[in-house]
Amino acid sequence: MATELRGIFTVMQLSKLSDFEGQDATELIGFAGIPRSGGTIGPIQSKRLKDFFDYATAPSASLPPDLTYTKIRTVLEARAKAVEAAVLGSMTGDGTSVAPTSSDFKFKAPVCDLFTGEPEEFWGWWDSVLLAFGQSGISEALTDPEYHNKSDSAAKASSAGWYAIAKSLQGGHANWMSGEVSRHTNRKVANDFYKKLMKTFNTEENQAHFMVHAIDSLNEIKLDHTKQVHKFINDWKQIINRLNENKNQLATNREILRVFLLRALQSDAFEESRQFILRNPLKTIDDYLDHIRNRADSMRMLSGDPPIREDGDIVPGIIRRAESRTKTKGSDPPKWHIPFFPNGWKQALGRGPFKRLEEWRRAAHGTNKRPRDLEKEFDMKKVRNKSYDPNLDRKTKKARRGATETEEDETSQDGTTDSRSHKFRIRVLRRTTSPPEPNEPVLITDSGADQFLAGYIWRRLSTTGRLVELMGALAGRHSGTVLPVASVVGKLIDAAGKAWCAVANEVLHDTSPNQHESLLPPAQVRNAGNAVDDCPSDAKTTRGDFGTQCCVFGSGKEKHTLPLFFDGLKCYYRMEAITDDELSSLPRIVLTGDAEYEPTSRTTTRRMNTDEIDWKRTMAFPPDDVLKHTLEATTQLIP
């Protein structure tokens, strides 16, 4: 109680005896618990006032030293008697009291959040003030200038609201405001504080500051693998609601909000929502956010985890129905795609912990294991208890050869073995995807190919005018097929399920409907400054490291890493015909450069000029020496 009394004294700014005679004295009487009947101060109330007086007469206080406790007590008792007389005056002549009016009520003093005084944070704080006053049932005390004159209860409520706001400003940059409002109005009315706050913060300049603050907030909100969907949606809707309350035009500018929302969707798991936003430009922001939430719920149900509302609570009864539908339809949950760990982690974490992370990734990547199963499988206590037994019999060792086995020692960064560590034997199975259908268009990495071969699924952009005759068989056709050198574009889908607008230059374009496979030669890709690693992620390279199973296209900010599919035999990307809308909407990558490409050694193809190819086709592709002698003899007949 002493702390509360000191707080009231600080806010009231009492400096002389007359300050105890007005409304401040009434508030202090209520705080001390002085009964109005008789105006007598009891022992408990006296102790409370004594605590207040001890603080008021401290050297740091502003009360004069000659102001005694007896004087203050006398003034307060007189004030209590005056209040009692006012109450008795409202009774009838026969002693019966008048029924209280509907304006008399009980209320609880509001408790407001602290305000820093920063203009960009005002509207967020003001929302909490409105909620606090609404919960206390005195919201009209803020906006109604005559509210405090309606009744004694209304006056108390308005005064309590004034102190609640003043307390929330303590410690912030707007702490000066309570003293200024009190001096100018000489009363404690919540509406006076409301007017001062609106005059100070509800200006065009501050609204512009808030718009900049809202743009910064929208720019910082990202939905990646570390951001929870319900938190992401809640942050977005809070900013939009604030913009609407301020009647800011940004709240209704759908195009700008779409750009911010597309930029915020950084998780590949929400590629479907990103495409929904791009293909439906006339939908509302609420429609986009609902699609994101539904997408998140679908993924959680398929993975065995229940969906979550915006407030973070789990939606009851959903997971049981989702599991039954999954079992009925026979569909499998989506497979995990886990990015590669940066090489710098190995130095930061040490060789041992980094190897554990790599083993966990290989066990989870490309599978549909549930998170709880992975936690159980890689529990540290369980892993440490499975130490390697060097005395395994030959039969047991032979049975384990079907899986990849690694033995690692826990070592520190300087290469010494930790005395507390021991060997682990981790069983890592090969993680593969199902092979593509026989007629499914694919782009296969082929180190034996001389030049990029594009199948029928690619759209031709332009040709160079050069032609190449292929002497090897293609798609079951005879040798001698002639293909143009062109630039093509197609829709490429990587192992993460992300679609790309892939452009390839200096390719041999085969438009035959039987040519489903396209060949991606690593030599030509590297010639354009890109990188190819078609070693599977569960196999080791010549350096002893596990393969990354990916291609890297571009550089700098335009650098993109595309994981490859692997079906146990080959690494590849899936291909689809690209539409006009996808040409402009999908992110673009360049697979091969546009500089003229001539393989260093070409054994299955050779370059020919256009005239020779036309003559050879006309003559049913005779041997080269026959064509040469025929042309020489034929031209001699021309005068």
- Cα–Cα distance list, 457 to 460, 482, 579, 581 (Å): 10, 18, 11, 17
Q: Is the dihedral of CA 174, 179, 183, 185 positive or negative?
A: positive
Contacts of 115 (CB under 8 A, 6+ apart): 121, 122, 125, 168, 169, 172, 174
Tell me phi and psi for residue 460, to 5 degrees: -80, 130
Q: Rounded to a whole number, what is the largest CA-CA distance in the chain?
A: 145
Q: What is the pLDDT of residue 427?
A: 36
Do 179 and 173 contact (CB within 8 A), yes or no?
A: no
State yes or no: pLDDT of 105 exceeds 80.
no
Query: Which one has a higher pLDDT value, 209 or 466?
Result: 466
Instruction: Tally Cβ neighbours within 10 Å of residue 580.
Output: 8
Tell me which residue has tokens 């008795």: 88
Token pair recorded at residue 271: 């590629």
Q: Residue 458 in contact with residue 503, Cβ under 8 Å?
A: no
Residue 60 pLDDT more than 80?
Answer: no
At 613, which helix (H) or strand (E)? helix 610-618
Helix, strand, or coil (residue 463)? strand
3-state secondary structure of 228: coil
Task: Output the six-digit token pair for 126.
Answer: 């003001």
- How many other C-beta atoms are found inside a 10 Å radius of the C-beta of residue 320? 9
Q: Where is pLDDT greater, at 395 or 566? A: 566
Query: Could you report the per-residue pLDDT of 129-166, keeping only the tens digit for each?
Result: 888 888 788 888 888 888 888 888 888 888 888 888 88
CB of 154 closer than 8 Å to CB of 134:
no
Residue 232: exposed, middle, or buried by beta-carbon count in 10 A (0-12, 13-18, 19+)? buried
Of 209-218, 275-284, 541-550, which range is least confident?
A: 209-218
Q: What is the pLDDT of residue 359?
A: 82
Residues in the chain: 639
Give, as one character, the DSSP assignment of residue 320.
H
- The residue that leads in pLDDT, 437 or 589, is 589
| Angstrom distance (rounded) from CA 401 to CA 397 | 7
Phi, psi at residue 486, to the nearest 5°? -145, 175
- Residues 522 and 553: their CA atoms lie apart, in Å, by 12
Other beta carbons less than 10 A from residue 539's beta carbon: 12
How far the first Cα of the chain sits from its last, in Å, is: 123
Given this model, what pLDDT does residue 409 score?
40
pLDDT at 321 over 70: no
Say which residue the tokens 């989870």 belong to: 364
Check pLDDT > 70 for residue 277: yes
- Answer whether residue 391 shows pLDDT above 80: no
Strands (E), 255-346: none
pLDDT exceeds 70 at position 385: no
The pLDDT value given to residue 574: 93
pLDDT of residue 388: 41
CA distance 356 to 546: 13
- Angstrom distance (rounded) from CA 101 to CA 151: 9
Indicate the pLDDT class of residue 73, thresholds 50, 70 and 90.
low
Pairing relation of β-strands 442-445 and 517-520?
A: parallel
Residue 220 has pLDDT above 70, yes or no: yes
**Exposure of 374 by Cβ count < 10 A (0-12 exposed, 13-18 middle, 19+ buried)?**
middle
Please classify residue 140 by burial: count the beta carbons closer than 10 Å to its beta carbon, then call 0-12 exposed, 13-18 middle and 19+ buried: middle
Report the percent of the chain where pLDDT is more than 70.
60
Query: What are the DSSP E strand ranges found in 567-624?
Result: 571-576, 588-590, 605-608
Question: Distance between CA atoms of 109 and 347, rounded to whole angstroms?
Answer: 58
Question: What would the pLDDT profile of 156-175 be if each residue is shown by its tens digit?
Answer: 888 888 888 888 888 788 88
The whole-angstrom separation of Cα 118 and Cα 130 is 18
* Parallel/antiparallel/unpaired status of strands 517-520 and 605-608: unpaired
pLDDT at 559 over 80: yes
The confidence score (pLDDT) of residue 181 equals 82
0.75 exceeded by the pTM?
Answer: no
What DSSP state is assigned to residue 335?
P
pLDDT at position 317: 45
User: What tens digit of pLDDT does each residue of 182-203 get?
Assistant: 888 888 888 888 888 888 877 7
Banded model confidence at residue 46, pLDDT cuts 50, 70, 90: low
More confident residue, 458 or 625: 458
How, if at all, do strands 550-553 and 531-533 pair? antiparallel
93-97, 283-287, 517-521, 546-550: segment of lowest average pLDDT: 93-97
Region 501-510: what's the mean pLDDT?
93
478 vs 495, more confident: 495
3-state secondary structure of 584: helix
Q: Within its chain, how far is the Cα of 293 from the centroid?
A: 12
Rounded Cα–Cα distance for residues 611 and 482 (Å): 13
Q: Would the CA dihedral through 268, 269, 275, 281 be positive or negative?
A: negative
pLDDT class of 323 with cuts at 50, 70, 90: very low
pLDDT tens track for 424-459: 433 333 445 667 777 889 999 988 888 899 999 999
Helix, strand, coil abundance in the chain, percent, nearest 5? 45, 15, 40
- Mode of pairing for the β-strands spanning 605-608 and 459-470: antiparallel
- Tell me which of 5 and 427 has the higher pLDDT: 5
Do the bridges between strand 588-590 and strand 424-428 make them parallel or antiparallel, or are there none, so unpaired? unpaired
The two three-digit tokens of residue 145, written as one number? 């200038």
| pLDDT for res 88 | 43
Collapsed DSSP state (helix, strand, coil) of residue 95: coil
DSSP 130: H
